[in-house]
Each structure stands twice: as structure tokens, then as C-alpha cells.
Amino acid sequence: MQWQTNLPLIAILRGITPDEALAQVGAVIDAGFDAVEVPLNSPQWEKSIPAIVEAFGDKALIGAGTVLQPEQVDSLAKMGCKLIVTPNTQVEVIRRAVDYGMTVCPGCATATEAFNALDAGAQALKIFPSSAFGPDYIKALKAVLPPDVPVFAVGGVTPENLALWIKAGCAGAGLGSDLYRAGQSVERTAQQATAFVNAYQEAVQ
């Protein structure tokens, strides 16, 4: 399996509002990101996501996070989403998204969940919450997973520790509060996005 973007970092813009969405997403894309998710517990995501898809769908893999129900996948497909990220391993959500041709990165913690997700068609795995398990846990889990499956660390990843997760075998990471917090300035988002891009490039040299 091959991760579909040039930079294997997913911008998680939890809490973003429609009136700031385009400026904030523009900032992370300008910094080098090409995968963005808006979690479905963000305000008025039904407005934000279609606007982001229309503005940046040709430049980045745009999608949704905290997707819990197959019916949500149906709605997101109509909006043009290409990426589905979940906090858990919900087989029906994964299968529905795969049927639409979407890239699916489901959350898992154990080998059982990971293999259930892969059996359902997931193309990548999100180890969540990574900070609770640590890089050594992911390294051990990677030992039993197919070597070509991209694994993303999500939860507690910072520019300062990103290299630890890459060294443990992660293809990349999903970046939440250390990249974007609801209400922060576009300038702050741009600064953090650049820090993460630089940290990734240094980690893989």
C-alpha cells in the first residue's frame, strides 16, 4: 500500500469554523501539507468541508475525521471528500468509505483492531492515542503488521518528538492541537505547520 500524498502528515483542524476554514487550510497547504481533515465534532462542518473541497481539492487530500457512522460517509462522499479518518475500528464505516474509493485511515490500538481494519479494506492505520502507548509499542506492533501498511501516530505528536515516531516505523502522523487549536491565528497555524514540515524532513534524511 502506498500513502497517497507527498507529505505523510495529516492536518487535524478540530473546532474550525466555516468563516476561518479557507484561510487556515490555505496556511497549512502553503507550508507543504497535502492532507487535511476536519473532525465531525467541529461546528458547522457541513459548510466547512464542501468549501475546503472546492477550494483545495485539487491540491490536497481533503476529508473528515471522527467519522463514526456509515451514513456520515454517504454525506461526505456527496461533498467530494477523499479521506476518512476515524477514532475507532468500525468495519462498516471502513467498508462504506472504500466502496466510494476513499482513502481510509481508521484508529486502532491493538493488533486485533489493526488486522480487522485491514481486512475491511483500510489503506492506512492510525495508532490512537499514540502518546499513551509510546514509540516502543508502535515498533512492536509494526513487527506483526504487513510492512507496506502506512502507520500514523496520532495524539501527542509535536515537532520536537516527531522523529521518535518516524524512527519507530511510522510513515507519518496526524497533527491536532500542536498544529491548530480552535480560534488561533492563521499566522500561528502557518508557523506550526512549517515547524512540522521541517521536523519531518529532518527525521527522514
Residue 188 grid coordinates: 500561528
In a domain, residue 1? The reply is no
Backbone angles phi, psi at 13, to 5 degrees: -105, 70
Candidate list 20, 82, 126, 142, residue with the active-site label? 126
Backbone angles phi, psi at 62, to 5 degrees: -105, 135
In a domain, residue 187? The reply is yes
Give residue 8's Cα distance to chain centre.
Answer: 9
Q: Are 87 and 107 in contact (CB under 8 A)?
A: yes
Query: Which residue in 138, 106, 109, 100 sits closest to 125, CA to CA?
Result: 106
Q: Is residue 37 flagged as an active site residue? A: yes
CA distance 178 to 167: 20
CA distance 10 to 84: 11
Total of domains in the chain: 1
Output the pLDDT for position 1. Answer: 74
The predicted model scores a pTM of: 0.97
In a domain, residue 16? The reply is yes
- What CATH number has the domain bearing residue 173? 3.20.20.70
Domain with 107, as residue range(s), is 9-204
Residue 39 grid coordinates: 473532525
The bridge status of strand 172-175 relative to strand 35-39 is unpaired
Instruction: Kindly indicate the confidence band of residue 2, based on its pLDDT and cuts at 50, 70 and 90.
Output: confident
Task: Give percent of the chain above pLDDT 70.
Answer: 100
What is the tens place of the pLDDT at every residue in 112-150? 999 999 999 999 999 999 999 999 999 999 999 999 999
In a domain, residue 56? The reply is yes
In a domain, residue 131? The reply is yes
Give residue 152's Cα distance to chain centre.
Answer: 8
Which H helix or E strand runs over 153?
strand 151-154
Q: Is residue 126 flagged as an active site residue? A: yes
Candidate list 20, 37, 82, 142, residue with the active-site label? 37
Task: Give percent of the chain above pLDDT 90.
Answer: 98
In a domain, residue 2? The reply is no
Q: State yes or no: pLDDT of 168 exceeds 90.
A: yes
In a domain, residue 144? The reply is yes
In a domain, residue 184? The reply is yes
DSSP string covering 17-76, please?
A: -HHHHHHHHHHHHHHT--EEEEETTSTTHHHHHHHHHHHHTTTSEEEEES---HHHHHHH
CA distance 40 to 46: 9
